Amino acid sequence: MGKKSFIYALVTMTLHTAFTGCHIIGEPEDLPAYIHVEDVDVYYTRPAETGVSTPNTPDVWISINDDPLSVYHMPRTFPFLPRDRDRVKISARAGIRVNGISATRSDYTFYTTWDTLVPIEYFDTITISPRVTYQNTVDISWNADFETASNAAYFIPAPGSNIELERTEWSDADRSQRQFNGLYYGRGHGEPGELMYLLLGSNNFRQNTFVGTAVFLEMEYDATQEFQVNIRYTDPEGVFNETPVMVLNPTRGYNEKARWNKIYIEFTEKLMDPVLNIDRYGISVRAVAPEDSPAEFNFDNVKIVTR
């Protein structure tokens, strides 16, 4: 092939590729739109029944037209390919870290799903502000929010415990930053080496009626020393035992400003364990202050959540 023929063929091929390539790239189904979400707002429509608390929902689970898209850490802007430009349904669920572990990300089964229908154009960025609440079927079987003066509903010291919780009023500054926390929390102070062993209020045991449904302990805490969360239980013959669920790390040093954390601890596996054969159960928290330092253990909005 001569030089002129080669150049002609090369130019023809380039032009053909350019025009056909533009057609492929320009197909509408290949053009994205974008969604932006700052956070998921958890609000409380039945506070007298469910209690309130400061949520810890760092993730959002997104579906488009009821098809799961992905899970995103917020705030986030992410693309998707909308097939129907007239009315696109966007659904969002609040995501938690089960037992506070990053690798166990899950949508929280007790919160509602938020939906919206919006028109979408190519390259649009749609900002959504999801709001969720507890589902109507949720049952709060025990709630320690420290808003009443009676200790019967809250953690009480077990025999041998040197530390008990004192009902303490939030400061105005703290209350302005923690709108869901009411007026009071439970404050525990221990001298070096002292034991904290606190039981679900009045050592009440709940009947284990959970079959195939999720059970969570929601808890807000601030601690200068690690502590252990346990299930105390009896089997059908009335034999008592206690089994650990997890150990929580301190949130701060003793001389540092309070640093509260919210955690969702799953009890389902323990309560359904056929080896444990749990008939009735309760909750305890246990820790020992360091030998060379005092310790603080603060709690609020501790509740057992199921259906």
Residue 70, pLDDT > 60, answer yes
The predicted structure's pLDDT at residue 142: 84
Final residue before a domain boundary, out of 96, 112, 132: 132
**Rounded CA separation 226/247 (Å):** 7
Q: What length is written for the chain?
A: 307
Residue 273, pLDDT above cutoff 50 = yes
Would you call 19 helix, strand, or coil by DSSP? helix
Between the CA of residue 60 and those of 35, 89, 164, what are the distances in Å? Answer: 12, 16, 38
Averaged pLDDT score across all residues of the chain: 86
Do 160 and 113 fall into the same domain?
Answer: no
Whether 143 and 237 map to the same domain: the answer is yes
Q: Which of 1-5, 67-71, 267-271 has the lowest mean pLDDT?
A: 1-5
Burial class (CB in 10 A: 0-12, 13-18, 19+), 298: buried
What is the separation of C-alpha 137 from the centre of its chain, rounded to a whole number of angstroms?
18
Token pair for 55: 């949520």
Instruction: Report the CATH number at residue 76.
Output: 2.60.40
* pLDDT average, residue stretch 197-202: 82
pLDDT digits (tens, 9 = 90+) for 23-67: 444 455 568 899 999 999 999 998 888 888 889 999 999 999 999
Q: For residue 206, what are the β-bridge partners?
A: 281
Q: Which of 98, 132, 166 is the last residue of a domain?
A: 132
Residue with more model confidence, 213 or 152 = 213
Tell me which residue range forms the domain holding 71. Answer: 28-132
Q: For residues 229 and 99, give the distance between their C-alpha atoms in angstroms, rounded to a whole number.
A: 11
Average pLDDT over residues 141-154: 78
